[in-house]
Structure 1
Amino acid sequence: MESEVAHKDATDQLLRPAGFKLDDWPAFSAAIEQAAELFGRMLGKLVTGELTIEVAEVVAGPAGNLIDQDQAYVTNVVHAPGWDAKLLVGTSRNSALRVVEMFFGGSGPADGLAVDRDCSRIELAAVGLMFRYLAAVLQSSFAPIADPEMEPGTCVDEVILDDLGGPEEPIVIVRLACVLMEQNIEVFIAVAQRTLSAVGDPLRMVVEDAAEASDPKWSEHFDRQFRRADVDLTAVMDGGALTLDEVSRLRAGQVLELEATVDSLIKVDCNGHPMLWCRLGQADGSFMLKVEQFFDAEQDLMEELLTATAVKN
């Protein structure tokens, strides 16, 4: 107990100089904890062996003090249009290479082994997939309180603090500690303090402890309503992309050719998360979708990497 109090006091001391105190943002803290748990579950499906992920620390201060630009990082800018802001997620290059090896069943480079080279295109694609999952769990975890939309950009082999507002910009950085097969991996999430202040009260809400608020009748009612809740599903027939130039030249009545055929699988998403692969059919004069299989994250990873390799060649 004393060690926990000492840790909390130490954290508060780190946060106070930058004018940010974690105790003032309980909903933000709860959402980050939930995101870490969901992130661990998603990554656990892609690797072999036991994986643990927890929030190591949440600190605040100038971006240049908290993120060493002289260190080799792999990063991804996550756009949050609803917050009118950008988040920066990243990991060290060594950690990135460990992630890539573990995705393919390896044990990863040894701790302390420095790798003095840029990441390859296929390695960036693998780490980019991890960041995509991180953006998805952040969106899911913050949705009940701040309704964000997280759109990950391109994974790059560098860190650009201008995306957060520059080296002097006060930020809050969350460090996630991941341990897999005795390998240590750190992933960070950085956001400008002004972004959190702009979102405001929803992130400051007190999250009531579930044990204290337990009411059997209410829990039964909530569970019953939850099971009856409506969700929006999106069926994606063709995932092709158009350039801005192609979009600007579209005309009313123009016919767009799809690469999909009648035999192509259709991906069904829920809130941006892929769930099912289906086939298109007809019944009683209406179109229908027949569930073929559940979405396989590992298979998706392999297809992403094969696509990246094909582009490179």
Structure 2
Amino acid sequence: MLDTSLQPPKRLTGPERLLDTAGVSIDRMPMLHVIFDRMVAQCSESLRQYSAAPAVFTVSSIGTERIGDILDAYENNTVVAIIHVQAWDSRILVGFDRAFISTLIETFYGGDGSEPPNIEKRPLSNIEIKLAQTIFDLLPKALQTSFSTISETVFKFERLETKLDFAVIAPRNTFGFITRINLRILGRHGEMFVVIPQSSLNSIRQELGRDLANDAVVRDPRWTKQIQNEISRTEVEVRAIIEDSHFVLGDFTELKIGQVLPLQATTKSRAKLECNAEPLFWCQVGQEDGFYTLRVEDFIDQEKDFIEGISGA
């Protein structure tokens, strides 16, 4: 049974009322674009466990509109989830339009996109609501991961609604940020949208206003750590070259079985350590416990060696 209990709107403080008298330009919050780009990438990855056909999510637009206008535009054509954001003491709204649900139904139940899309206007069936619930369960984690670089908080699914009259997250005359996200799969399209009351982001507005052009790198610390761990465990093959000897093709034709090729190298000669044909270090050759060893002495300056090679030629 759906929980359709009406949640009272959050009472705005004096400063919040002043800020909400007009919509804040999305240009003043460039980090929102970064956050939702990360979110759609995670949604595409999460849907792979349910569908053999690739699902591609892309951000269509991000803007500000009055909450009432947003709800009126999607009335009778959507199912929404109310998600509580603990650190903001606020709720946000995530919705799927009918085309989104129909597309996923056909995909998950073996369709190939050849059937005409279902445009019948009717209440959502129990199967469609169950499927929407399954996808909604994936979104709090995607949102939490996407916002984690600027706000460590918990996104918790509260309830599902099919009537937008009960989807109260803020007064209808206040402004909210709406992100419209397009789903493309099997040649079909559907729309997902995320609505965040403008006042909910007051506590992180400064972080959202960061100018990426002035930041050297915007890094996800967990992703950076994972890359470092994977690189440190990666096996590479290296080889040591004691001496480079140059031959002509005629020299090889005169070689005989058992013939010994003398090397000019001595025990004091340095060995060149290479990886994937790229010279890395100069090393000193030695022995320990019956094995040959290499002691790194210096980095190889390829540019310097190249210039010296040209000068000596």
Counterpart position of 2:102: 97
CA distance in 2, matches of 1:20, 1:179: 30
Counterpart position of 2:132: 127
C-alpha contact (below 8 Å) 2:92/2:195 kept by paired residues:
yes
C-alpha contact (below 8 Å) 2:35/2:146 kept by paired residues:
yes
**Corresponding residue pairs, total:** 206
Counterpart position of 2:182: 177
Aligned to 2:111, what secondary structure does the other structure show? coil
C-alpha contact (below 8 Å) 2:85/2:92 kept by paired residues:
yes
Residue 191 (structure 1) aligned with residue 177 (structure 2) = no
CA distances 1:89-133 after superposition (whole Å, capped 9, x unpaired): 00113321322232222246734x422222233321211111121
TM-score of the superposed pair, with normalisation by structure 1: 0.58
Counterpart position of 1:61: 65
C-alpha contact (below 8 Å) 1:161/1:167 kept by paired residues:
no
C-alpha contact (below 8 Å) 1:60/1:173 kept by paired residues:
yes
Q: How does 1:252-267 map to 2 (within 5 A)?
A: none
Among 23, 33, 38, which residue is 2:42 paired with?
A: 38
CA distance in 1, matches of 2:217, 2:79: 42
Counterpart position of 1:150: 155
Of Structure 1 and Structure 2, the greater helix share is in 1
Task: Tell me the amino acid that sits aligned with residue 130 of structure 2.
Answer: A
C-alpha contact (below 8 Å) 2:82/2:91 kept by paired residues:
yes
CA distance in 2, matches of 1:223, 1:96: 36
Among 31, 51, 55, which residue is 1:51 paired with?
A: 55
Among 103, 111, 116, which residue is 1:110 paired with?
A: 116
CA distances 1:47-96 after superposition (whole Å, capped 9, x unpaired): 12232111000121112223325332111101111111101000113321
Greater Rg over alpha carbons, structure: 2
CA distances 1:235-259 after superposition (whole Å, capped 9, x unpaired): xxxxxxxxxxxxxxxxxxxxxxxxx
Counterpart position of 2:80: 75
Residue 136 (structure 1) aligned with residue 118 (structure 2) = no
CA separation of 1:100 and 1:155: change in aligned 2, threshold 3 A: farther
C-alpha contact (below 8 Å) 2:64/2:177 kept by paired residues:
yes
CA distances 1:215-238 after superposition (whole Å, capped 9, x unpaired): xxxx9999437989xxxxxxxxxx
Task: Tell me the percent identity.
Answer: 18
C-alpha contact (below 8 Å) 2:103/2:190 kept by paired residues:
yes
Question: Which of 152-161 and 219-228 deviates more?
Answer: 219-228
Among 4, 10, 32, which residue is 1:28 paired with?
A: 32
Shift of 1:175: 0.5
Shift of 1:169: 2.1
Aligned to 1:146, what secondary structure does the other structure show? coil
Aligned to 1:79, what secondary structure does the other structure show? strand
C-alpha contact (below 8 Å) 2:82/2:167 kept by paired residues:
no
| RMSD of aligned alpha carbons | 3.0
Counterpart position of 1:88: 93
C-alpha contact (below 8 Å) 1:72/1:158 kept by paired residues:
no
Counterpart position of 2:291: none
Residue 203 (structure 1) aligned with residue 208 (structure 2) = yes
C-alpha contact (below 8 Å) 1:72/1:93 kept by paired residues:
yes
Structure 2: gaps spanning 5 or more residues? 1-20, 233-313
Shift of 1:162: 5.0
CA distance in 2, matches of 1:221, 1:188: 31
CA distance in 2, matches of 1:225, 1:179: 34
Task: Tell me the amino acid that sits aligned with residue 75 of structure 2.
Answer: D
CA distance in 1, matches of 2:75, 2:167: 15
